[in-house]
Amino acid sequence: MYGQAFQGGLLAGINTSQITGDDLAGYNKLSLTFGAFVKTKLSDKSSLQMEIAYLGKGSHKNLNPKDSIPTLYLLRLRYIEVPLVFQFNLTSKLSLETGPSLGVFFGSREEDLYGDMSGMYSSREQFKRFELSYTVGGTWIINPKWHFNIRSANSIFPVRDHDQSTSYRLNKGQYSSCIMGRLMMNF
């Protein structure tokens, strides 16, 4: 009986992200996300969901020959994320969600017009091992088996310090932001 209080499933989708402090604006980096989730009902109107998922993040700017200063930049970040979200059912087909997420950083690649930046700029600040984010989103319940989820996640603390650890007032470093669209399959 106790095991029936939980339900689980798989999730997959895409996200678009940006890194503040890189002098580029916009959610221009597309990445994949996929993983699994488990949830339990707290009441008729609410539930608690925990996930474990791969999440690609970063920043991207294509080379544009019309720019006065040609710029090419690509930052790929790889995380395993563990969100814990409280969900509130507005209707039988729509729920809202919010909660914290812990990300474990496990790799990156940074490139510019001249190639891989890790060798040329070896003095660059390293990415922090853990990322604490806050998430807000909503889920459209297509049917009992399939759900479509949209979520925004923003880091609370910097994912990387500014070069030479410079900071100004509340600008303590580079922060990560992403918007995800995911299809969720319930078991």
| Domain locations along the chain | 9-186
Q: Please give the helix or strand (H or E) that residue 120 lies within, else none.
A: helix 117-120
pLDDT digit string, tens, across residues 75-130? 899 999 999 999 999 999 999 999 999 999 998 888 877 777 765 555 567 889 99
Is the confidence at residue 132, as pLDDT, over 70? yes
Give the pLDDT band of residue 145 (cuts 50, 70, 90): very high
Q: How far apart are CA 179 and CA 151, in angstroms?
A: 6
Tell me the helices (H) and strands (E) count for the chain, helix number first.
1, 9
Greater pLDDT, 125 or 47 = 47
Residues 150 and 163: their CA atoms lie apart, in Å, by 33
Instruction: Say whether pLDDT at 2 is over 50.
Output: no
Across the range 34-44, mean pLDDT stands at 95
For range 4-10, the mean pLDDT = 89
What angle is formed at CA 58 by the lines to CA 69 and CA 164, rounded to 5 degrees?
Answer: 70
pTM score: 0.84
The CATH number of 9-186, from 2.60.40.420, 3.30.300.30, 2.40.160.20, 3.30.499.10, is: 2.40.160.20
Q: In terms of pLDDT, which residue wins out, 116 or 55?
A: 55
Q: What is the mean pLDDT of the chain?
A: 87
Residue 20 or residue 162, greater confidence: 20
Greater confidence (164 vs 82) lies with 82
The burial of 77, by beta-carbon neighbours within 10 Å (0-12 exposed, 13-18 middle, 19 or more buried), is given as: buried
What is the model's pLDDT at position 3?
47
d(Cα 89, Cα 161) in Å, to the nearest integer? 39
What pLDDT does residue 118 have?
A: 66
Mean pLDDT of 24-41: 91
Question: 67 pLDDT exceeds 80?
Answer: no
